[in-house]
């Protein structure tokens, strides 16, 4: 039973396995209390960074904590170490953000 299952290329693609795996990473940070204008400016600039890096991001916003998962916007693309650095440096440079944590690259389909 410990033998690795052999799948053809088409099935691996449909299941996002092996060479078709999609890599992404998690991040989290705390948001300080700020004015609505500061929040709007932060999220607009954050959206610009995400678009510039050609990424998709899902957010889980729980008042003071902002958590998300980042993947590439390219079909079958992967998030990279450069993408992690861009997100981390952006978040770390914001005055309303503290306690920034960026995870390692993981398989977005099976590694979360």
23-57 residue pLDDT tens: 899 999 999 988 999 999 999 999 999 999 999 99
Q: Please tell me the chain's helix, strand, coil percentages from 3-state DSSP, rounded to the nearest 5.
A: 35, 30, 35
Give pLDDT, residue 30: 92
User: Once rounded to an integer, what is the mean pLDDT over residues 14-21?
Assistant: 72
Give pLDDT, residue 63: 67
Give pLDDT, residue 24: 92
DSSP E strands: which ranges in the chain? 23-31, 55-62, 65-72, 97-102, 106-107
- Asked if residue 20 has pLDDT above 90, the reply is no
Q: Token digits for 41?
A: 């400016």
Domains contained in the chain, CATH given: 21-107 (3.30.70.1110)
Read off the pLDDT of residues 59-98 as tens digits, 9 standing for 90 and up.
887 767 899 999 999 887 899 999 999 999 999 999 999 9
């Amino acid at each position: 039973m410990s033998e690795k299952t052999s799948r053809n290329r088409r099935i691996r693609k449909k299941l996002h396995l092996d060479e078709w795996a999609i890599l992404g990473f998690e991040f989290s940070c705390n948001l300080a209390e700020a004015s609505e204008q500061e929040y709007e400016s932060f999220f607009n600039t954050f959206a610009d960074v995400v678009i510039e890096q050609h990424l998709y991001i899902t957010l889980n916003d729980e008042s003071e904590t902002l958590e998300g998962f980042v993947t590439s916007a390219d079909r079958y693309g992967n998030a990279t170490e450069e993408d992690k650095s861009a997100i981390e440096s952006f978040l770390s440079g914001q005055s309303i953000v503290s306690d920034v944590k960026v995870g390692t690259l993981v398989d977005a389909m099976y590694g979360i």
